[in-house]
Structure 1
Amino acid sequence: MEEIHNRIKSLRVERNLTLKEMSDQTGLSLSFLSQIERGTSSLSISSLKKISDALGIHINYFFEEEQETQTFVMRADDHHSFTTTKGSQIYSRLTGTFNNRRLEPLKVTLPPRMHEEHPYSHSGEEFYYVLDGEVIFYLNNEKHHLYEGDTIHFPSSLIHQWENPLETESSVLSIVTPIIF
């Protein structure tokens, strides 16, 4: 497995973050982060969680082995749905599997009258295409009402949340970076 310190530095550089910016986001000292990236200091789980949050990834990323098999085609029967503890949306992963994947394509089903309670912001960018129904996106408190066939694309650093205003399900194609699930 690639060393954790190498993965941290690679992700930080990919996201054009300086050590100072990473220090500001994590609350960890600049010298400590530098030692981490050089592999000269050990890292607690709580510090790794702060770093993974700042990089916009799940902490599990650092413990996953590099994949030896690659899958480029995802058949409809292979789409597995899941939910998160933060919402009632149903996600279906649409992606293949290969090393250094950057995009997270998902089909997201929003239940009737779903309204995301808490707005979010993080690193990366997001693209949505409304497949069925209607979705309202709030970007920095500005309301954007989208209908079937409409798209929205924005930097994830904007404070954002969404809702389904209908009495029926709505579904969207979602493509986000970085990989979050």
Structure 2
Amino acid sequence: MEGFDVGTRLRELRKARKLSQRELAKRAGVTNSTISLIEQNSVSPSVSSLKKILDALPVSISAFFAGDEPAPPRAFYPAEELTEIGDGYLSWRLVAARRPDRSMSIIYERYPPGADTGDAMLEHDGEEGGVVVAGEIELTVSGEVQILCAGDAYYFDSRLPHRFRNIGKEECVIVSANSPPTFAEGGREMHHA
């Protein structure tokens, strides 16, 4: 993640919770070396790996990247103020990440060619939907696979196992929403992570 020190932020959160690297790794179901390498910024975690680790703290993706300070409600958000919550390869920019009373998450997603949400199928509470703005995406929901192109849309129960993959040669852009706003709540419920 350009301009964001993932390793230092993870180490600060782990130490604030008085957890050893070994204990965090055990809770997250990852190896000790994974935690160590991430904290040293020797490896950049995938979204799915970061999700497992943050779930074990628990800390939400938005709190991890945006900090814990809530922001007062407002109506407009310039592009440069969207909070990047992707993994440095996938770009997911969350609208109003620190708004304390959000009842949904709206995300501007960008998948480079070959990008994917990870080998593990995602499952979390809520519903999600989106519209492909550019490119194409392969979406798997509960074993059903569909390739969606610009203008195509999706909407499903997020408890169904799902995965997003850009199998095309161009970047895929999606504008999505999910409810409840699980990026802000910490714990296990997150979108595309």
Who is 2:84 aligned against? Answer: 81
Task: Report the secondary structure of 1:95's partner residue.
Answer: coil
Letter in 2 for 1:126: E
Who is 1:91 aligned against? Answer: 92
Tell me if structure 1 keeps the 8 A contact 2:111–2:172: yes
Measured against aligned partners, the alpha-carbon deviations of 1:24-82 in whole angstroms (never above 9, x if no partner) come to: xxxxxxxxxxxxxxxxxxxxxxxxx67969xxx66959x946x4622221023323434
Relative to 1, partners in 2 of residues 1:113 and 1:125: Cα closer, same or farther, differing over 3 Å?
same
2 CA distance for matches of 1:97 and 1:160? Answer: 26
**What stretches of structure 1 of length at least 5 have no aligned partner?**
1-48
Who is 2:105 aligned against? Answer: 104
1 CA distance for matches of 2:101 and 2:107? Answer: 18
Who is 1:179 aligned against? Answer: 182
Tell me if structure 2 keeps the 8 A contact 1:112–1:165: yes
Q: Kindly state the Cα deviation for residue 94 of structure 1 after the two structures are TM-superposed.
A: 2.5
Who is 2:137 aligned against? Answer: 135
Relative to 1, partners in 2 of residues 1:74 and 1:114: Cα closer, same or farther, differing over 3 Å?
same
Tell me if structure 1 keeps the 8 A contact 2:130–2:175: yes
TM-score relative to the length of structure 2: 0.55
Tell me if structure 2 keeps the 8 A contact 1:102–1:179: no
**What stretches of structure 2 of length at least 5 have no aligned partner?**
1-54, 185-193
Task: Report the secondary structure of 2:80's partner residue.
Answer: helix
Tell me if structure 2 keeps the 8 A contact 1:136–1:165: yes
1 CA distance for matches of 2:178 and 2:56? Answer: 21
2 CA distance for matches of 1:73 and 1:92? Answer: 15
Letter in 1 for 2:127: E
Who is 2:43 aligned against? Answer: none
Relative to 1, partners in 2 of residues 1:168 and 1:101: Cα closer, same or farther, differing over 3 Å?
same
Q: Kindly state the Cα deviation for residue 93 of structure 1 after the two structures are TM-superposed.
A: 1.8
Tell me if structure 1 keeps the 8 A contact 2:68–2:98: no
Relative to 1, partners in 2 of residues 1:78 and 1:142: Cα closer, same or farther, differing over 3 Å?
same
Q: Kindly state the Cα deviation for residue 147 of structure 1 after the two structures are TM-superposed.
A: 0.7
2 CA distance for matches of 1:145 and 1:163? Answer: 9
Tell me if structure 2 keeps the 8 A contact 1:70–1:96: no
Relative to 1, partners in 2 of residues 1:79 and 1:64: Cα closer, same or farther, differing over 3 Å?
closer
Relative to 1, partners in 2 of residues 1:80 and 1:94: Cα closer, same or farther, differing over 3 Å?
same
Q: Kindly state the Cα deviation for residue 155 of structure 1 after the two structures are TM-superposed.
A: 0.7
Paired positions, count = 126
The RMSD of aligned alpha carbons is 2.9
1 CA distance for matches of 2:99 and 2:57? Answer: 24
TM-score relative to the length of structure 1: 0.59
Q: Kindly state the Cα deviation for residue 95 of structure 1 after the two structures are TM-superposed.
A: 3.0
